[in-house]
Structure 1
Amino acid sequence: MTVVRVALPVPLRQHFDYLIDPALPAQVGCRVRVPFGSRQLVGIIWQLAPADGFAVDKLKPVLALLDSRPVLPELLCRLLSFAADYYHHPLGEVLISALPALLREGRNLDDYQPKAYALTTQGQQLSADALKRSAKQHALWQALHKHPLSESVLLQQHRRPTLKQLLDKQLVAEHIVPATPFAAPPKPVTGLKLTSAQALAVSAVTQAFGRFERLLLEGVTGSGKTEVYLQSIASLLCQQQQVLVIVPEIGLTPQTLARFQARFDVPVLCWHSALSDSERLHCWLQASSGAAAIIVGTRSALFLPFWRLGLIIIDEEHDQSLKQQDGFRYHARDLAIKRAALQHCPILLGSATPSLESLHNALNKRFIHLPLPDRAAGQALPRFELVNLKQQVLQYGLASQTLATVKQQLALGHQVMLFLNRRGFAPALSCQECGWLTECQRCSAFTTYHKQSRQLVCHHCGASKAIPRQCGSCGSTQLKPLGQGTEQLEENLQQLFPDIAITRLDRDSTRRKGALHQALDEIHQHGARLIVGTQMLAKGHHFPNVSLVVIVDVDGALYSSDFRAPEQLAQLITQVAGRAGRGSSGGTVLLQTHYPEHALLQDIIQNGYAAFARSALHERAQTCLPPYQQLALFSAQAHQSQHCQQWLQQLAECARQFPALQLLGPIPAPMERRAGYYRWQLQLYCTSRGAMHQALTLLLAELASWPLSRKIKWQLDVDPTDLS
């Protein structure tokens, strides 16, 4: 028996040795089913015949080898190994997270390969009258007598039970059809006419083919970044190389997919969490075999096993959705750069509002900077106006100046978009007599009133309950909504503009499958329309008929304890504003605020995001904050607050032995209690990336033995983007 070292999906930072029959074709990257305590787990072979293995008589045998060839190729194993080391996460959980759910369950991969059916020798020799008593079997036998059929074609005309009956009679045999790479187009597809800046960007990308290069495409909203992507891809497809396009959210995949499918006559597939398990495995197989030319997906598409990857594109590279916020906390943008280095292919990062980290790399010549300063069709950038709410009469949360401008644009037949980053009807219910507010019993937050579902919902832990009839403090029945959400804004607009169609885009209205696609189709219909939405509207969408954008409440993000808040607000304002004026008519953006003199608002409006970002970088350098220092975040949560504080205090005392580290904390998290747990955090800063990771490795090895570590839940987040 041979010893194999297996990585298992358990929260332990170690591997496990097992015995396997040397006659089996075991390879690194293959799945095995092994005993683990009282359970059976599916793991990944990580090492063959390790030199430091345990004695053979102390090891258990592998129960089954599930693959004859690796499901994780060598290059992908190297990427995942790097990710596990960099983010200090157990390797077994990292490896398993890169596989589709059906493979994680131990399903046989051959069961999901493309199949074809043909008559056996017995079936070919069968007389034409033998199946006359079964018309359906006879019809299928006749169809296969002409030629074999693929499974997809066969099931279009015949039922699966009929096929099974012929298989059971051994008249038909099943064959796996080897997948073939996509056919390269004979010549590049001609696209739209490019501006000089777009042409320079496309030239820079195509010249980088075949080698690792990092490129940052910084283009204002409407500058034609997608056209740069499309024309860069065109010549690559002629070389029969694959392309990975990562978008930050599921909501952006349909329109991105449609544009790529309309331009290229090659297989273009999507990958995101809304697909079924079988659909995701199909996409995984197509990418692995080379049958898929282009994959458009969310962050986990980064781990697909491509046959011949030639280019990686990260659209909206600044977006926080690219960072996984629980479990294996990786950043898709940063790991995509590592994958491009391993693949020896270029990576193109695109955004109208690049992150300060990427901009810092571009200014320091680590990235090739490709600016697109003007809109592709020559339209002017939208004009900003600050609406001072302290000097206006408000009607349903909208100033009189705002309503007058909305009426004017609707009268011209244009569309108007109102952005409010708060779903539900109201952020809370308030007692009109004593001021009591509906609070979540498990979080340091208020519960949001959802009028349509008649529920109070906590948007942090998901807890919901019925609307109370009385105040929880004084017993009064005078409970009224406090504040405004998209649901209430939609209702109020229906009263103000009864003859105008309204489309609401938020997580509640698009929960049903196909609802988002239907809503986007409605928006693209011509004619006056009001569009109400949350952050789903903020990026990527092209609404040519929108001439006015109203940011209903910009004040909520002006004052925050997170040092990244100004950057995120500037990105949000710029992205939302970019939906205006993309057609033939000009664009206007109204920002409703009680603080029109705020320096951040004035900087964005007067100078634009590019100038703001450079001044923000200067401020980060002066305060020694990322990207000028490395940041790691230890967070702890427990039912008793003192346990978190004590554990982090012990960690802080241990971390002080590393002089390169600077500590902030232990401090309560900005949201001190969530889902019934008290939350504390400790922030670690270091100017040297190497020194930071060396310290983290030693700290993790030490804290595993602390008794208090078993009384709390703790996590380490390297390069965190959310400090809440």
Structure 2
Amino acid sequence: MCNIMFVVKVMLFIPINKTFAYLYNFKKKPIVGGRVIINFKKNKSVGIILSYKIYNKNKKNIELKYVDSIIDNFSIFNYYVWNTILKCSKYYRCSINFIIFFGVPKFIKKGNSFKNKLNFVWSITKLGRLIDINILKKTPKQFYTLSLLRKKNIDKIFLKKCNISNYIFSQLCKKKLCEKVYKDFKISFINKNKINNNFFLKSNDVFCKYINRILSNLNNFSTWLITDNLFYMKLKFYFALFKNILKNDLKILFIVSNLYMLNKIKNEIKKNMSYPIYSYHSKLTDSKKIKCWNEFQKKNASIIISTKVGVFVPIKNLGIIILDEENNLSYRVLGKWTFNLKSVILLRSYYEKIPVILESSEPNLSTLYNVQKNKINCIKISNDILNFYKNLKKILIDIKIERFRGVFSLSLIKEINFHLKNNYNICLIIDGFSYMFYFVKCFKCNYIFRCNVCYQICEFKIHEGVFVCRFCFNINKEFKCLYCKCEKFVYSRCNTSFLIKNIKEIFDNTVIIFLDKNNTNKNIKFFSKSIFISKKKYLYKYNLYNIKLLIFLYIDYYFLFPNFRSTEYFSQIYYSIIRLFLESYNSSFKIIIQTNLIYNMLFKKLIYNGYNNFSKYLLKCRKKYKLPPFSLHAIFRIESNKKHKILFFLKYIKPFLEKISKKEKKFWFMCSNYIFLEKYKKFFYYNILFSNNTKFALRKIFDKILKYFNKFLSYNKIYLIFDIDSVQIISFY
């Protein structure tokens, strides 16, 4: 044993804000980022070494436990990834435990080794071939398995199909009739790196100058934005870029928003390139993840397509990082560590000294602001999409003037009937339509209240307490059920079941298909003369054909919401849906929008001027009122299991923040009116919005809060979460 003893700070794979000290008494020095086994609460558990120092016997130390054993002789993360993790913990004012807990797969948390598990196959022995099989007739399962083994070897997949247990094979092994045969894992890809040159851009193309500029900055940090593109034009640009990067034996990390896009891009790359391609996501098994981590450490050129889980995966010879659809809200991760994936990727690429490509046809206003400041280089692949937007027919229906049968106006019903007669399909987008109006049900029999004159569904005005018919404009002040004559009622917002009933009443013999996460392309048959109902997040999964009418039922919710970012989100949703339809069909179709905001300036510019002009107008408005990205907003979230503890903490923190706001004129804060309850996780939380001109000034304020209230928070078990890149819609009212 070595004379020098170390005190090691160990982090457990539990989402808690604590590290534990242990004595390290081994021949080798402790490795930061290496895993060890320790005794924690009478159980052996796996942890990671965060730091170490030499043990001083003269100092009065608390009696510490010893580290039980070492798992790894190397750090799990490389130098660049470890630096990004440390920087993230400082930037987000978050414990390193939560960051590592998010970025590490399950096999590392369990303490499994990085060695690839060898695949095995059950095969028959010589004795098994020579023996008379009729001897095993008393044990029919053994008889059946041996007869299968005489035909072919059996692997794990075939075992599940035949419903044969491992116990039967163990019994046959004891009789020396079969045995395990191990095989090494081999990745199946073509060794000859052939490329389909017909798919790529020509050397004389205009976009080659952008590719050459990116390639010249391969060893330096630089950010690029690709906008105004269709899917296949975007792929052509990527493949031309990949062709040059992979020649230098570098790896490419391609991050996508969902598994559907991952598989779609992977299949397109496989068709045109024969370099090794790896997909990494949360649904992979532990054995496959181990194989991926080992393959990423090799020097050969490869393409890695991953979801947000692959941000902290260590990759050797990483050449470039690509973030697809950078405006997607799924990159926003909420929890004990709230962060935006884009900012983490930029941090990693800064330490790795490699370029980053952000792709979006509808980029965030913060990225467009950085483009104006020349911090991000902009690449426009094609202008075809702008011409498509201009040529589309748009019909706006004013809700104030029109008559309605339930959710549908009479002019909209005419358009739907016309398209159904011509055997066309129709798509209804129902994002935000639940806020259209309130309808009333009977308390006992669930009868929907209708007008006495025209027998159409009535709208309930909550503030006035009146029932208004949206067809004949008749006003009723009293409610009485026709069937059970009950006077009690319940009001609720529009939902999908209400919408489907309404469609069946108006349009007879039409096929209604509701698209959600449970359905797949294989299970759905697409007919002519059918109505598809979907939200934006499920629409990309399906290939819809022969659609000539796209309907937005109600969009006022996004413009009337108290958060100023909601208009930006709707503009991204609106143009991404249109782009998705243009990529699928390349044909003209009508767009109908039901709204009260026909004469609104913002709404007009969004619909008619295109996303680029609309985003420029929004930036001007935000500059006028000093809103992000011209100022910085951060959310300070207080969490606790008990409500009175938050109230007690607010008595001290509010006057403390008022003193800071008097000293610093550019700083202001806004508190929410209520303490909110998280129903599923069963804890209370309270939001405070901070605003300042610089991030440095906001960080100073956060540090002051942690200094003054650290002991108070730990004693009362109150958790603080600093959301610095706040882009989500939060509730203050």
Who is 2:470 aligned against? none
Matched, 1:94 2:99: yes
Mean alpha-carbon deviation: is it higher for 311-320 or for 281-290? 281-290
Q: Is the CA contact 1:269–1:292 (under 8 Å) kept in the aligned structure 2?
A: no
Q: Is the CA contact 1:322–1:331 (under 8 Å) kept in the aligned structure 2?
A: yes
* Equivalence map 1:187-226=2 (5 Å): 187-190=194-197, 192=199, 204-219=213-228, 224-226=233-235
Change (3 A) 1:17 1:179: farther
Change (3 A) 1:571 1:615: same
Identical counterparts, % of pairs? 17
SS in 1 for 2:327: coil
Matched, 1:547 2:542: no
SS in 2 for 1:705: helix
SS in 2 for 1:558: helix
Residues 572-600 of structure 1, C-alpha deviations (whole Å, 9 max, x = no match): 22222333444242132211102211222
SS in 1 for 2:613: helix
Matched, 1:691 2:693: no
In 2, the alpha carbon distance for the partners of 1:426 and 1:592 equals 10
Who is 1:327 aligned against? 336
Matched, 1:72 2:73: no
SS in 1 for 2:560: coil
Change (3 A) 1:24 1:198: same
Residues 577-625 of structure 1, C-alpha deviations (whole Å, 9 max, x = no match): 3334442421322111022112221120232211121222222223222
Q: Is the CA contact 1:380–1:581 (under 8 Å) kept in the aligned structure 2?
A: no
- Residue type matched to 2:196 in 1? V
- Residue type matched to 2:82 in 1? C
Residues 256-302 of structure 1, C-alpha deviations (whole Å, 9 max, x = no match): 44434444334544444455566655555554557994343332221
Q: Is the CA contact 1:271–1:296 (under 8 Å) kept in the aligned structure 2?
A: yes
Cα deviation for residue 681 of structure 1 reads: 1.8
Matched, 1:717 2:723: yes
- Residue type matched to 2:591 in 1? V
Q: Extract unaligned runs of 5+ from structure 1.
A: 437-469
- Residue type matched to 1:113 in 2? K
Change (3 A) 1:610 1:567: same
Residues 366-388 of structure 1, C-alpha deviations (whole Å, 9 max, x = no match): 11111245236975553333211
Aligned residues: 672
SS in 1 for 2:197: coil
Cα deviation for residue 418 of structure 1 reads: 1.0
- Residue type matched to 1:302 in 2? V
Who is 2:461 aligned against? none
Who is 2:557 aligned against? 556
Work out which of the residue numbers 16, 22, 28 in structure 2 matches 1:18: 22
Who is 2:368 aligned against? 359
Work out which of the residue numbers 77, 86, 89 in structure 2 matches 1:81: 86
In 2, the alpha carbon distance for the partners of 1:328 and 1:598 equals 39
Change (3 A) 1:60 1:430: farther
Change (3 A) 1:181 1:308: farther
- Residue type matched to 1:560 in 2? F
Cα deviation for residue 494 of structure 1 reads: 4.5
Change (3 A) 1:7 1:484: same
- Residue type matched to 1:568 in 2? Y
SS in 2 for 1:44: strand
- Residue type matched to 2:689 in 1? Q
- Residue type matched to 1:46 in 2? L
SS in 1 for 2:252: strand
Mean alpha-carbon deviation: is it higher for 312-321 or for 39-48? 39-48
Q: Is the CA contact 1:212–1:341 (under 8 Å) kept in the aligned structure 2?
A: yes
* TM-score, structure 2 normalization: 0.77
Cα deviation for residue 204 of structure 1 reads: 4.9
Cα deviation for residue 91 of structure 1 reads: 0.7
Matched, 1:47 2:51: yes
Who is 1:406 aligned against? 416
Change (3 A) 1:259 1:540: farther
- Residue type matched to 1:393 in 2? R
Q: Is the CA contact 1:2–1:22 (under 8 Å) kept in the aligned structure 2?
A: no
Work out which of the residue numbers 644, 653, 656 in structure 2 matches 1:654: 656
- Residue type matched to 1:680 in 2? Y
SS in 2 for 1:636: strand
Cα deviation for residue 208 of structure 1 reads: 4.5
Change (3 A) 1:398 1:428: closer
Mean alpha-carbon deviation: is it higher for 165-174 or for 710-719? 165-174
SS in 2 for 1:684: strand
Q: Extract unaligned runs of 5+ from structure 2.
A: 136-141, 447-479
In 2, the alpha carbon distance for the partners of 1:11 and 1:155 equals 36
Change (3 A) 1:27 1:501: farther
In 2, the alpha carbon distance for the partners of 1:427 and 1:395 equals 13
Change (3 A) 1:353 1:57: same
* Equivalence map 1:662-701=2 (5 Å): 662-668=667-673, 672-675=676-679, 679-701=685-707
In 2, the alpha carbon distance for the partners of 1:541 and 1:714 equals 41
Who is 2:621 aligned against? 619
Q: Is the CA contact 1:311–1:345 (under 8 Å) kept in the aligned structure 2?
A: yes
Work out which of the residue numbers 37, 41, 44 in structure 2 matches 1:33: 37
In 2, the alpha carbon distance for the partners of 1:420 and 1:65 equals 55
Cα deviation for residue 127 of structure 1 reads: 11
Who is 2:431 aligned against? 421
Who is 2:630 aligned against? 628
Q: Is the CA contact 2:638–2:721 (under 8 Å) kept in the aligned structure 1?
A: yes
Work out which of the residue numbers 348, 364, 372 in structure 2 matches 1:339: 348
Q: Is the CA contact 2:308–2:331 (under 8 Å) kept in the aligned structure 1?
A: yes
SS in 2 for 1:370: strand
Cα deviation for residue 422 of structure 1 reads: 5.3
Cα deviation for residue 222 of structure 1 reads: 6.1
In 1, the alpha carbon distance for the partners of 2:228 and 2:276 equals 28
SS in 2 for 1:706: helix
Cα deviation for residue 365 of structure 1 reads: 0.9
- Residue type matched to 2:23 in 1? L
* Equivalence map 1:370-385=2 (5 Å): 370-372=379-381, 374-375=383-384, 379=388, 381=390, 382-385=392-395
* Equivalence map 1:419-458=2 (5 Å): 419-421=429-431, 430-431=440-441
SS in 1 for 2:10: strand
Residues 195-251 of structure 1, C-alpha deviations (whole Å, 9 max, x = no match): 967666555555544443211111156683344334433443444433332223445
SS in 1 for 2:572: helix
* TM-score, structure 1 normalization: 0.78
Change (3 A) 1:130 1:561: same
